[in-house]
Amino acid sequence: MMKLRCSRREFLGIAGMAAGAAIAQPALASIIPAPSSRVAIGICPEYDRRVSDILSAMFDQLGGLEKLVRGKTVAIKLNMTGPASDKLNEMPNQLTHWVHPRVIGSLVSLLGNAGAQRIRLLESAPIGTKPLEEFMLSAGWQPKDFSSAAARVEFENTNFLGNGKTYARFMVPGGGLMYAGYDLNHSYRDTDVFVSLAKLKEHRTAGITLSMKNCFGITPCTIYSRQAPEDEPSLIPMGYREPMHSGSRVPPRSAPQPVAESSDPGFRVPRVTADLVAARPIHLAVIDGIFTMTGGELPNQERNWIHRPVHPGVLIAGMNCVSTDAVATAVMGLNPMADRGAPPFETCDSTLRLAEHLGVGTRDLSRIKVVGTPIAKARFRFPTLTQLTT
């Protein structure tokens, strides 16, 4: 394995993580009783007007949106991973690895109809400090389609400080599995209801990327990239979150520091994800699986992986992110109770298990009430890691 050069501060920071590892591991020794929740599945073959009708029926099956959002600010973390130019076979990104604008617009409209006072669309767009609307326009989307779907819709690029004066700090209950806490854009604090709107996908590092892994992208590159300064966040986001995968360096001194030591992305990424959903809870998880792709969250991410478009024709939603992702995993033909070494977690720890141990929710299908379409009828089998490798 290639050794990375690091500064004296990076070396001391990484050395200090060894002591913190003893803090992280006991959290896995005793399982906190994880809440159970119902999850709705809807069959939806196309991105047309049926999307809104099916989502509406699913939310009714979950108990309705009104009591969750009436009179409140709602923040929606979108899944628009990577640059708009990164395409699979020149297909529109929303048909492969981005959530579709029809799903976004339908969700915004339904939240508005349920009485949401303000709706914020959020994503850490890889375009520096430009507005999120510009990123959408670069993909051929029309932001006005979203802003007209409800009375008060706002947009924010959360990859830097944005419109806030300070970063919002979220400490992980119990001390954290990978970091003690995370500094995020103010929009993740200045909201009453947090929604993760994700795509039904596999992930080369985390096995699956659903409503929980979608939140890995809420971390700003001004703090969590290799180009971040040693003391304070940078003013402009640069690079990617490589240190969060590899542990090659620690965040600026101004941010909470790591509590565990590892250079294994299969150890780190699931723990960061579980930390984040424990520290910044998801109130509603919605997963777009109408059209998606196999082989990871980005097209052509791995040269020897098989990326191809697929059409599961399904929408999944729930009020508990762990239970929602567990059901989505089963819909993908995979075992949510699997652990490292078994599909879909052949080379990584299970984010589902880690979040369950933190008390976020249950992954046990016997404790989850599935409403709408049964899992067996909605199932669309995704390939395992060995099947994805050429």
Predicted local confidence at residue 33, as pLDDT: 62
- Asked if residue 16 has pLDDT above 90, the reply is no
- Asked if residue 22 has pLDDT above 80, the reply is no
DSSP assignments along 325-366, one per residue: HHHHHHHTT--TT--TTSTT-TTS--HHHHHHHTTS----GG
381 domain residue, yes or no: yes
Q: Map tokens 């009179």 to a residue.
A: 71
Q: Is 146 left (phi over 0), alpha (psi -120 to 50) or beta?
A: alpha
- Asked if residue 269 has pLDDT above 80, the reply is yes
238: how many CB neighbours lie within 10 A of its CB? 16
- Asked if residue 7 has pLDDT above 60, the reply is no
d(CA 290, CA 197): 13
- Asked if residue 24 has pLDDT above 50, the reply is no
177 domain residue, yes or no: yes
Structural domain that includes position 123: 20-388
The burial of 327, by beta-carbon neighbours within 10 Å (0-12 exposed, 13-18 middle, 19 or more buried), is given as buried
Strand runs (DSSP E) across 57-102, as ranges? Answer: 73-77
Residue type for 114, please?
A: A
What are 318-357's pLDDT values in tens digits? 999 999 999 999 999 999 999 999 999 999 999 999 999 9
Percent of the chain with pLDDT over 70: 91
Average pLDDT for residues 363-381, to the nearest whole number?
Answer: 97
- Asked if residue 3 has pLDDT above 60, the reply is no
Both tokens of residue 73? 């600010």
The closest alpha carbon to 359, from 323, 329, 331, belongs to: 323
Average pLDDT, the chain: 91
Task: Flag the least confident range among 7-21, 84-98, 293-307, 332-346.
Answer: 7-21
Angle at 264 between CA 261 and CA 268, to 5 degrees: 65
9 domain residue, yes or no: no
Percent of the chain with pLDDT over 90: 84
d(CA 99, CA 318): 17
Predicted local confidence at residue 387, as pLDDT: 85
Residue type for 300, please?
A: N
4 domain residue, yes or no: no
> Under a CB-based contact definition with an 8 Å cutoff, are residues 260 and 274 in contact?
no
Residue type for 331, please?
A: V
pLDDT band at 1 (very low <50, low <70, confident <90, very high): very low
Task: Say what angle helices 101-113 and 50-61 make with each other, to 10 degrees.
Answer: 50
Please tell me the pTM assigned to this model: 0.91
pLDDT band at 296 (very low <50, low <70, confident <90, very high): confident
d(CA 199, CA 97): 7
Task: Flag the least confident range among 260-264, 298-302, 322-326.
Answer: 298-302
- Asked if residue 25 has pLDDT above 60, the reply is no
- Asked if residue 32 has pLDDT above 90, the reply is no
How many residues comprise the chain? Answer: 390
What are 168-199's pLDDT values in tens digits? 999 999 999 999 999 999 999 999 999 999 99
- Asked if residue 85 has pLDDT above 50, the reply is yes
The closest alpha carbon to 251, from 276, 231, 277, belongs to: 231
383 domain residue, yes or no: yes
Angle at 179 between CA 241 and CA 161, to 5 degrees: 55
Report the DSSP beta bridge partners of residue 80. Answer: none
Q: How many domains does the chain have?
A: 1
What are 216-257's pLDDT values in tens digits? 999 999 999 999 999 999 999 998 999 999 999 999 999 999
pLDDT band at 301 (very low <50, low <70, confident <90, very high): low
pLDDT, greater one: 387 or 92: 92
d(CA 331, CA 309): 17
Predicted local confidence at residue 6, as pLDDT: 39
DSSP assignments along 219-260, one per residue: S-HHHHSTTS-SSS--SS--S--HHHHH--SPPPTTSPPBSS
Both tokens of residue 322? 């762990």
> Under a CB-based contact definition with an 8 Å cutoff, are residues 279 and 359 in contact?
no
237 domain residue, yes or no: yes
28 domain residue, yes or no: yes
Average pLDDT for residues 25-49, to the nearest whole number?
Answer: 74
- Asked if residue 13 has pLDDT above 70, the reply is no
12 domain residue, yes or no: no
d(CA 321, CA 336): 13
